[in-house]
Amino acid sequence: MKKFIVALFSVVALCMFMGTGVFAAENDNTEILQKIEETNVAIEQEIQAAQAKGDKLLSALSLETAKLDAKLETARQNGASETDIAKLEKEVKTKKAELTAKYNKDLDKLIGDLIDKTNKMTADMIEEAAKEGIQAECSWVYVQIADRWVWVDPIKIIGP
């Protein structure tokens, strides 16, 4: 009977030691680290989408200003009078200013939306990581959107 009780306690003790390893494996933060990585991938996708939209805006501006320059040059080559050329130059200058102002406004909005969205994604993920005991922070990267450079903030893990 004594051998049976000793064997039973041995089996119970063995199960207890093995059981703590299972609990430790559940608490290794793999899930939160995966979420951080997914957030960084989503941020990179947002950056790339903004870059594509910014490039499209810049291309449209370049095309329109080239058309205006071509129109002015055609008038000069066709022998338009100085008065007509001066009037056309003024119109071209005004139209270019309008196009540039619209481009700047649209690009400012695009960049502002990107920064707002990525800042929120980063802040939410850093807060969630902190609840799980993971220290993370913004890891600023310098990216080009059309003809501008801006800072965007993926997440960097700094400690457990």
Mean per-residue pLDDT, 133-158? 91
Given pLDDT bands bounded at 50, 70 and 90, which one contains residue 27?
low
pTM: 0.75
Given pLDDT bands bounded at 50, 70 and 90, which one contains residue 63?
very high
Would you call 81 helix, strand, or coil by DSSP?
A: coil
Contacts of 14 (CB under 8 A, 6+ apart): none
Tokens of 134: 């993971």
Contacts of 50 (CB under 8 A, 6+ apart): 110, 111, 113, 114, 145
User: Which bin fits 146, alpha (ψ -120 to 50), beta or left (φ > 0)?
Assistant: left
State phi, psi for 60 to the nearest 5 degrees.
Answer: -65, -40
